[in-house]
Amino acid sequence: MPLRVKGLPAPDASIAPAIFVCLPLAPMRTRAGQAQPFTQKPYRICPPGPRIPCEFFPPCLASRRARRIWFRRTAEGRSMDIQSVGIVGAGQMGSGIAHVFALAGFDVLMTDISEDSLAKALSQIDRNIERQVLRGKVAPEAKAAAMARIRTTLRLADTGPCDLIIEAATERETVKQAIFEDLLPHLKPHTILTSNTSSISITRLASRTDRPEKFMGFHFMNPVPVMQLVELIRGIATDAATYQTLLGVVEKLGKTAASAEDFPAFIVNRILMPMINEAVYTLYEGVGSVKSIDESLKLGANHPMGPLELADFIGLDTCLAIMNVLHDGLADTKYRPCPLLTKYVEAGWLGRKTERGFYDYRGPVPVPTR
Ligand code: CAA
């Protein structure tokens, strides 16, 4: 609803966008007189609509109060208050996401097709928060409150009433599309749909739903409680309100958002996965052993984990799926998945989650498998 501000002409729907075009030209000043830079990009937040020439505004914007009111109202009107979050998939990403949302005060409903996975996810979250309690990073009461905020269900439809849905299922487009199709009839009109996909086109996933403007890529890194970054990926139709809302959520989680354009594998995996794939080629061609490759990158490039150890940590099936998305989506042979990576996946040696990958985790210490 338009707000009447003294000194401004009677507002209508065409004025707020114009104000945003003008605001960066007239930065607000603090009481101490320092200019406060505007961080928003005006072309991102302006909805389509008629524009009023900038010269029209400077007299109206002379009042600091008028600028502040317009700024606050527009920002509030555009982002949504998220309280409940539905998480689809209780694997390592889904459980990590549930962990950080519950600690940040959101109500979490986690769903999976396997009761066993839900039970494992809950005990994993409990263990990981306990680790944070023991290191003095989380208060014991905060842990109890967070655990109480997490509910689980086997019925996907139960997550329908949530304000925000985060799909964190297997990295296969058909699986993700089937989940969104089943969810659609149960969603509230305001619900924002997101996918934690590491590589799949957000625009394509969104186009199969009834709300492409409320659909975004929401990509967390593993281990979610530790990694600071969240990639935000807008599809071609994602609206400004959805983007602003997710920016606010990331801030509430205490993490940092990086915006990526919707191209195969976005930013992190576009760079990380070819490096891991190259490490597998290095092994395949006999340039180094599992141990020497990992040690070289840890000691020679200061990586916290070697690339093969990291591949096991992420899951070799996920690494292969991302390489295939890069190879198909960018049609460049430099993204060809290494045949040895395919072989490990075909053997069912998927890394830590199956206790065997480039290392064998079944004994007291990981042992290289090559
Ligand atoms: N939950 C809560 N805390 C955890 C945790 C978890 N799951 N895992 C580790 N931690 C905490 C530990 O408690 C410890 O805390 P303090 O600093 O307070 O002591 C800290 O993290 C370090 O853990 P450890 O001492 O156990 O082990 P480490 O020093 O070897 O670190 C690691 C482990 C954080 C995983 C580190 O090896 C690392 O950063 N590895 C690289 C991880 C990475 O690159 N992730 C991105 C993968 S790409 C991705 O996820 C995108 C994709 O789509 C595939």
7 within 8 A of 66, measured Cβ to Cβ: yes
CB-ligand 1 contact for 226 (6 Å cutoff): yes
Residue 87: name the closest of 122, 35, 45, 38 by CA.
122
Q: Are residues 91 and 235 in the same domain?
A: yes
Share of the chain above pLDDT 90, in %: 78
Q: Ligand 1 centroid to 224 CA: how many Å?
A: 8
pLDDT > 70? residue 4: no
Ligand 1 within 6 A of CB of 314: yes
Q: Are residues 231 and 273 in the same domain?
A: no
The pLDDT of residue 144 is 98
Mean pLDDT of the chain: 86
317, pLDDT greater than 60: yes
- Shortest-distance atom of ligand 1 to CA 96: 7
Q: What is the mean pLDDT of residues 201-219?
A: 97
Top-confidence residue, 274 or 12: 274
- Model confidence at 13, pLDDT cuts 50, 70, 90, reads very low
For ligand 1, atom 39: residue with the closest CA:
304
Residues 243 and 170 grouped into a single domain: yes
pLDDT surpasses 50 at 370? yes
Active-site position among 95, 195, 198, 199: 198
Residue 52 has pLDDT above 90, yes or no: no
| Digit-coded pLDDT (tens) for 107-128 | 999 999 999 999 999 999 999 9
**58 and 104 together in one domain:** no
95 and 25 within one domain: no
Pocket of ligand 1 contains residue 225 by CB under 6 Å: yes
Statement to judge: residues 254 and 280 lie in one domain? no
What is the C-alpha separation between 111 and 98, in angstroms, rounded? 11
Assess whether 117 carries a catalytic annotation. Answer: no
Of 54-58, 139-143, 303-307, which range is least confident?
54-58
Ligand 1 contacts CB of residue 133 (under 6 A): no
pLDDT digits (tens, 9 = 90+) for 234-277: 999 999 999 999 999 999 999 999 999 999 999 999 999 999 99
pLDDT of 38 higher than 50 = no
272 lines ligand 1 (CB under 6 A): yes
DSSP 37-69: ---S-HHHHPPSS----GGGSTTGGG-HHHHHH
CB of 198 within 6 A of ligand 1: the answer is yes
Q: Determine whether the shortest distance from the Cβ of 40 to ligand 1 is under 6 A.
A: no
Q: Mark whether 143 and 256 lie in a shared domain.
A: yes
| DSSP helix/strand/coil, 229 | strand
Task: Yes or no: say if 237 and 203 are a contact pair by the CB < 8 Å rule.
Answer: yes
Q: Which domain CATH number covers 317?
A: 1.10.1040.50
Instruction: Pick the atom of ligand 1 nearest to 131's CA.
Output: 13
Do 230 and 99 fall into the same domain? yes
Given a cut of 70, is residue 26 above it in pLDDT?
A: no
- Does residue 317 fall inside a structural domain? yes
Residue to substitute in 128, 138, 226 for testing ligand 1 pocket (most ligand atoms within 8 angstroms of CB)? 226
How far is residue 348's CA from residue 12's CA, in Å, rounded to a whole number? 61
Q: What is the dihedral of CA 115, 121, 127, 129, to 10 degrees?
A: -130
- Residue 99 CA to ligand 1 center (angstroms) comes to 14
Q: What does pTM read for this prediction?
A: 0.81
Residues 6+ apart with CB under 8 A from 81: 163
Residues 303 and 339 in one domain: yes
Q: What is the CA radius of gyration of the chain?
A: 24
Q: Does 326 fall in a domain?
A: yes
Q: Is the CB of 44 under 6 A from ligand 1?
A: no
Q: With pLDDT > 70 as the criterion, what percentage of the chain qualifies?
A: 79
Whether the CB of 244 sits within 6 Å of ligand 1 = no
Identified catalytic residue from 167, 171, 219, 309: 219
Please indicate, yes or no, whether residues 137 and 171 belong to a single structural domain of this protein: yes
Q: Give the list of residues 6+ apart from residue 158 with CB closer than 8 angstroms, or none.
A: 86, 109, 111
Instruction: Say yes or no: 59 and 118 in one domain.
Output: no
303 is catalytic: no
> Is the pLDDT at 33 greater than 60, yes or no?
no
The tens digit of pLDDT for each residue in 57-98 reads 444 555 666 555 555 545 444 678 999 999 999 999 999 999
Domain that holds residue 24: 15-78
Which of the given ranges, 4-8, 53-57, 68-72, has the highest pLDDT on average? 68-72
Active site residue 269: yes
Q: Is 186 a catalytic residue?
A: no
Question: Quick one: which atom of ligand 1 is closest to the CA of 222?
Answer: 50
pLDDT at site 63: 63
CATH number, domain of 172, equals: 3.40.50.720
198-222: average pLDDT: 97
User: Does the structure show a pLDDT above 60 at 15?
Assistant: no
Query: Ligand 1 centre from 222 Cα, in Å?
Result: 7
- Mean pLDDT to the nearest integer, 310-337: 97
pLDDT at 199: 93
Q: Are residues 22 and 130 in the same domain?
A: no
Distance 223 CA to ligand 1 centre (A): 5
Q: Among the atoms of ligand 1, which is closest to the Cα of residue 318?
A: 54
